[in-house]
Chain A
């Protein structure tokens, strides 16, 4: 096998053990993060026949429009049913109101095949039962429209966990795979179409032909699931979805996340081992992409090597990305903050982050900013609420949301991913004003 797979073997001690040995700084306090509703911004582009109806307050509508920025289209596939005083004072039955809004919406939009009723902080606090509403409305609208429910509220979900909640709501709807069905590979996590196609092509070239994706582009074309299903997580923030899949018998393939040459190789290799792909074939299929990734990254290594980087918590992509920047570009992680650390899913990436790096989970934003000012990293990855203020203090930043909104997975995006981190540094050095 290739040198990278030897690397990923690391058989001296199970990665999970090494990871659990390291201290984690856990903090609580003010958090500067998005809520799970934000996931709608990319999920509605991925599932083109789905509509996302948030049941919430004006704040929720305001958040969505702020996050979607210029994407308020003529007929967007998301909206907010804004609760008003009448709904709270019990002057009207909220369930009746919901029926009215959904009827109006579905009458206007006959193209919708799946409707997600998305819970928010206000709807969760007043205990508005959206699952009951989804069930009731589903009876009325099936088979034309499937109606599902999940919560993207800030009290329960942080940013990308909104996608987790949404996919977890799809899992019970997946058909049951026959017990004697051929072994199936399932890629879990919404990826840009171009990246998804690259992965499907690679698996195809390895001879793994029974491959499906969750979420599918067509929300009604859900893959089957059962004990014959092996799944690979494409994203690190899918703990509930993983649990729901395992409840239905699926088995996770342990791998690093597919960032860079090494991460992508490790991720592909996990599937190759499980599906008994011949080493020579695996090498033949993956070598060109790996080589291209290295070539593309080599242009940037000089700009990133030896540079110190801190991550503030945002999306749970922090640990795998810190691993990528460390082992493939020679950066030095100072603090890696994540809103939530799933130790098992991130074990292989975490094991490769040097012990000198501070891993933190949760946030007390003022204390964390004190540490950033003390550490003075060359680059701080943070949200848009903090980026300009830190720049004004003379600290270079890379805004984190772009990492969720850009194609960054796989061999052929490795150079682009490195470039996202190199660009702010290059710009800082170039500007003479």
Chain B
């Protein structure tokens, strides 16, 4: 048993859901107990999808266990086929169903469903979300790709590529894809297929028609790409275009495979990051110590950008997905670091505290850790929260991605001039060592001064704003002790408003001192 509060990855069937939700015309029948539908809201809330994920859960309950859960599964599969008329289905078990040993694969096979049903074996007690996504994508490709496709000779036609990996709940996948498509257009490369995002099972059958594959997210597409390489002799582009240097390498690699001229793509004038980074106000960034943690692909890319394109010093590098530990080890060697490969956030926290970086680049969890330690932080990798599925175009890939990354990483830092003043006037009452950047409305208390559990208390102090009536000087009798205590029970983020409203109400109705009744009279008065 592993004691855990936070998990970087969900169980493998959530990875399978990410593939099903990304695709069109594919339905997932998941043998799972009541309650596992919680995962739907990752898609409808965090990613804000406007439709339900195409997943039917058998939702068995305790009373079903003695009886025929297998029958429940078949009924769910039948109903899903009838209602949604998918082109293909994937069937599998969640962690609990794995224990009751119904065999979704065998059951589906015995049913004579009107569409192909691809069985998934996802060992929930050994593997995790990314692995589940990769395995599912691989099985879908393997199960649906037509083996008899003939690629026309290359003369007289554009090169064709598959873009593999963009997925539901992927960090910036939507916008990365836009940038990658632009680059391919500049290189004159045709997109045969993007998968899994927005691909249908019918599309997948044509996957063998491309000349080569582009693996955007190895965590999801690497397994499938290796099978395609063996089966259709399709080479794979494995440079991930995150950062200016990596984008140039990507363009060169695609151009090489496509027999295209890379010059127009390399000369893309939207690349502002190099000049921003060279301009003198970026000088203060030199040698800033940065700690990097995330999925291996994003962490390795971030380390390269940090060192070679922003002039930071990488002081820590790690990933949570063991499957790609090799990449992190190689990169860490290059930066002269010990790699950190762990899915235990407490270990990550200790490593960050130990390294004492000036900037943390990580996931949602590192954001929490950095907040606690009073360090600036930017997000570079899943898992992420709702604010990292933004409305605006915010790629990480390509030259526009590099522009986004420059802004995102530099934003949490104190600006150069301010940094100088902070060092000069260390005792200044407004500028103190504890103050965060002045362009942030709120900033975390310095860890050394305020222990973690006092976070709320400090927020309460902050909200106890002086009221409009403090001017009369004598406020000792304005609130009875009981009313003051009652006010304290109102959540801190609305307490200031409640105080002001109540006092205005008391003023208008001449109700001094304010007692509990007055407080609630005012509440009712202002309710709307």
Asked if B41 contacts A384 (CB within 8 A), the reply is yes
Q: Is A74 located at the chain interface by the 8 A CB criterion? A: yes
In the complex, what distance in Å separates the CA atom of A146 from the CA atom of B369? Answer: 31
Asked if B37 contacts A385 (CB within 8 A), the reply is yes
Asked if B44 contacts A384 (CB within 8 A), the reply is yes
- Number of CB contacts from chain A to chain B under 8 A: 215
Q: Which chain A residues lie closer than 8 Å to B9 at the CB level? A: 58
B49's contact among A72, A105, A122, A388, by CB below 8 Å, is which?
A: A388
Q: Is A47 located at the chain interface by the 8 A CB criterion? A: no
A residues 362-404 in Cβ contact with B at 8 Å: 366, 383-389, 391-392
Flag A41-71 by CB within 8 Å of B: 1 or 0 each.
Answer: 0000000000000010111011101110110
In the complex, what distance in Å separates the CA atom of A67 from the CA atom of B6? Answer: 12
Q: Is A276 located at the chain interface by the 8 A CB criterion? A: no
In the complex, what distance in Å separates the CA atom of A357 from the CA atom of B94? Answer: 37
Asked if A62 contacts B56 (CB within 8 A), the reply is no
Asked if B385 contacts A70 (CB within 8 A), the reply is yes
In the complex, what distance in Å separates the CA atom of A105 from the CA atom of B336? Answer: 36
Q: Is A164 located at the chain interface by the 8 A CB criterion? A: no
Q: Is A318 located at the chain interface by the 8 A CB criterion? A: no
Q: Is B111 located at the chain interface by the 8 A CB criterion? A: no
Smallest Cβ distance from A126 to chain B, in angstroms?
6
Asked if A155 contacts B486 (CB within 8 A), the reply is no
Asked if A101 contacts B3 (CB within 8 A), the reply is yes
Q: Is A266 located at the chain interface by the 8 A CB criterion? A: no
Asked if A87 contacts B1 (CB within 8 A), the reply is yes
Q: Which chain A residues lie closer than 8 Å to B279 at the CB level? A: none
B residues 303-341 in Cβ contact with A at 8 Å: none
Flag B448-473 by CB within 8 Å of A: 1 or 0 each.
Answer: 00001100000000000000000000
Smallest Cβ distance from B420 to chain A, in angstroms?
33
A residues 270-313 in Cβ contact with B at 8 Å: 288-289, 292-293, 295-297, 299-300
Asked if A66 contacts B4 (CB within 8 A), the reply is no
Q: Is B58 located at the chain interface by the 8 A CB criterion? A: yes
Segment of B178-186, B259-267, B284-292, B515-523 engaged in the interface with chain A: B515-523
B488, closest chain A residue (CB): A194
Asked if B52 contacts A100 (CB within 8 A), the reply is no
Q: Which chain A residues lie closer than 8 Å to B65 at the CB level? A: 125, 155
Assuming A84-B125, A85-B126, A98-B1, is B35 touching A154 (CB within 8 A)? yes
Flag B18-36 by CB within 8 Å of A: 1 or 0 each.
Answer: 0000000000000001111
Flag B39-65 by CB within 8 Å of A: 1 or 0 each.
Answer: 111101100111110001111111001
Segment of A18-26, A28-36, A237-245 engaged in the interface with chain B: A28-36
Q: Which chain B residues lie closer than 8 Å to A80 at the CB level? A: 3-5
A59's contact among B36, B50, B76, by CB below 8 Å, is which?
A: B36
Asked if A62 contacts B125 (CB within 8 A), the reply is no
Q: Which chain B residues lie closer than 8 Å to A425 at the CB level? A: none
Segment of A226-234, A323-331, A412-420 engaged in the interface with chain B: A412-420
In the complex, what distance in Å separates the CA atom of A66 from the CA atom of B48? Answer: 15
Asked if A419 contacts B527 (CB within 8 A), the reply is yes
Smallest Cβ distance from A338 to chain B, in angstroms?
15
Asked if A155 contacts B60 (CB within 8 A), the reply is yes
Assuming A30-B76, A72-B6, A389-B51, is B1 touching A101 (CB within 8 A)? yes
Asked if A61 contacts B4 (CB within 8 A), the reply is yes
In the complex, what distance in Å separates the CA atom of A121 from the CA atom of B62? Answer: 9
B11's contact among A32, A57, A289, by CB below 8 Å, is which?
A: A57
Smallest Cβ distance from B344 to chain A, in angstroms?
11
In the complex, what distance in Å separates the CA atom of A369 from the CA atom of B4? Answer: 37
Segment of B95-103, B199-207, B400-408 engaged in the interface with chain A: B95-103
Q: Which chain B residues lie closer than 8 Å to A430 at the CB level? A: none
In the complex, what distance in Å separates the CA atom of A97 from the CA atom of B126? Answer: 17
Q: Is B502 located at the chain interface by the 8 A CB criterion? A: no
Smallest Cβ distance from B274 to chain A, in angstroms?
36
Q: Is A37 located at the chain interface by the 8 A CB criterion? A: yes
Assuming A61-B4, A72-B368, A385-B37, is B128 touching A415 (CB within 8 A)? no
A residues 250-278 in Cβ contact with B at 8 Å: none
Q: Which chain B residues lie closer than 8 Å to A385 at the CB level? A: 37-38, 40-41, 44, 52
Q: Which chain A residues lie closer than 8 Å to B516 at the CB level? A: 201
Q: Is B507 located at the chain interface by the 8 A CB criterion? A: no
Asked if A82 contacts B33 (CB within 8 A), the reply is no
In the complex, what distance in Å separates the CA atom of A153 from the CA atom of B186? Answer: 54
A83's contact among B58, B79, B125, by CB below 8 Å, is which?
A: B125
Assuming A155-B34, A155-B96, is B523 touching A415 (CB within 8 A)? yes
B residues 495-528 in Cβ contact with A at 8 Å: 516-517, 520-521, 523-525, 527-528
In the complex, what distance in Å separates the CA atom of A122 from the CA atom of B4? Answer: 16
Q: Is B230 located at the chain interface by the 8 A CB criterion? A: no
Q: Which chain B residues lie closer than 8 Å to A85 at the CB level? A: 123, 125-126
Asked if B44 contacts A388 (CB within 8 A), the reply is yes
Q: Which chain B residues lie closer than 8 Å to A55 at the CB level? A: 1
Q: Is B226 located at the chain interface by the 8 A CB criterion? A: no
Q: Is B432 located at the chain interface by the 8 A CB criterion? A: no
Asked if A121 contacts B125 (CB within 8 A), the reply is no
Interface residues of A (CB under 8 A from B): 29-38, 55, 57-59, 61-63, 65-67, 69-70, 72-76, 78-85, 87-88, 94, 97-98, 100-101, 104-105, 121-122, 124-126, 153-156, 158, 193-194, 197, 201, 288-289, 292-293, 295-297, 299-300, 366, 383-389, 391-392, 412, 415-416, 419
Interface residues of B (CB under 8 A from A): 1-7, 9-11, 13-14, 33-42, 44-45, 48-52, 56-62, 65, 76, 79, 83, 94-96, 99-100, 123-126, 128, 365, 368, 372, 385, 452-453, 486, 489-490, 516-517, 520-521, 523-525, 527-528
- 14 A-B pairs (CB sep. < 8 Å): A32-B40, A58-B7, A58-B9, A58-B124, A66-B38, A80-B3, A82-B7, A94-B1, A125-B65, A193-B489, A366-B79, A388-B45, A389-B44, A419-B528
Instruction: Please list the 4 inter-chain residue pairs (A to B) with the smallest Cβ-Cβ separation, ordered nearest first.
Output: A35-B35, A154-B35, A385-B40, A415-B527
